[in-house]
Amino acid sequence: MEAKLFRALYNDDDILMKAVKKLREEKVHIEEVYTPFPVHGLDKAMGLAETRISIAAFMYGCVGLITAVVMMNYIMIQDWPQDIGGKPSFSYLQNMPAFVPIMFELTVFFAAHLMVITFYLRSRMWPFKEAENPDKRTTDDHFLVEVHAGSDEEKLKELLLDTGAVEVQVPKTA
């Protein structure tokens, strides 16, 4: 038997933060929190793990840097060497100061674009995906906390109302 899903609506982000902390103290598992804007510190209050997007960004930047070095070495030194402004193209190292802006730009380009793609894939947000928002008011001025009910549903409903919820919903499960 699947546990019921409770949805508590809050109308203030400070009340939401206190409610999340109280629910965590009471060992209630918070499934998801929907907010109309980012709430600073909510991830820590929910006990979410640190993200590894910064490690991915560094790796993507390294891929961009390597791509820039290989591309410039092949194009400007091996394939089509040119004498530009009296600077001969005998080796990559002699010309590297001229290549620094290109290396920087490709590093940033790869890191930024691949991080966005990674974010969308990890969030399962792709084009034409239906919104999974349980209540339209969370896009305007309300905050919603989804929790799974344990054995005592009445106690949980009472706890949610005590934390400052303006409304507690028990949606029908399919």
Is the pLDDT confidence value at 91 over 80?
no
Domain boundaries, the chain: 5-50+131-169, 53-122
Summarised one tens digit per residue, pLDDT across range 97-106 is 888 999 999 9
pTM score above 0.75 = no
For residue 52, which phi and psi values (nearest 5 degrees)?
Answer: -105, 20
> 78 or 87: which carries more pLDDT confidence?
78
What topology is assigned to 5-50+131-169 in CATH? Alpha-Beta Plaits (3.30.70)
Contact 16, 10 (CB under 8 A): yes
pLDDT of residue 3: 64
What mean pLDDT is predicted for residues 80-91? 73
Compute and round to an integer the Cα radius of gyration of the chain. Answer: 26
More confident residue, 84 or 30: 30
